Copies of this chain bind each other. A is one copy, B any other.
Amino acid sequence: MTQGDQIWAVDALQALGHETRLSVFRMLVKAGPDGLMAGEIAQRCGVPASTMSHHLANLERAGLATSQRESRVIRYRADYAGMRQLLAFLMEDCCQGDPLLCADFSEIVSCKP
């Protein structure tokens, strides 16, 4: 793994290392492919729109969310590819796939034949 790889991982981890942003990301995962409008996210979190805009931009920069304008609203979705990369990094590069760290997840991931 290169030095650069760790950099984006740091960005992604830092993005999720904030209560509001972690909530937002989970909200987006729960919302699924439809995602959520920026305004509704702000409202649900009880945070001013301008503040939320920064958090959403942060998540997007970190590769954990995508945005798409639809006429007047902007729809945010969880970026599954980014999250998958982060999880892969944590399990492979960071933890070296060590069974001590990762073995328990065989039940969580869909690996039943």
A61 at the A/B interface (Cβ < 8 Å)?
no
Interface residues of A, Cβ cutoff 8 Å to B:
6-7, 9-19, 22-23, 25-26, 29-30, 80, 83-84, 86-88, 90-106, 108-111, 113
Q: How far is the CA of A84 from the CA of B107 in the complex (A)?
A: 13
Chain A interface helix/strand/loop/mixed: helix
Instruction: Give which listed residue, B25, B83, B97, contacts A108 with CB less than 8 A.
Output: B97
Top 4 closest pairs, chain A to chain B, by CB: A14-B17, A106-B111, A13-B17, A111-B111
Q: Given contacts A9-B22, A22-B6, A113-B113, are A29 and B105 in contact (CB under 8 A)?
A: no
Q: Given contacts A106-B111, A113-B113, are A94 and B26 in contact (CB under 8 A)?
A: yes
**Nearest chain B residue, comparing its CB with the CB of A17:** B14
Question: Are B29 and A7 in contact (CB-based, < 8 A)?
Answer: no
Given the complex, which residues of B lie within 8 Å of A10, measured CB to CB?
16-19, 22
Query: In the complex, what's the smallest C-beta–C-beta distance from A47 to chain B, in angstroms?
Result: 16
Q: How far is the CA of A100 from the CA of B78 in the complex (A)?
A: 11
Given the complex, which residues of B lie within 8 Å of A98, measured CB to CB?
29, 80
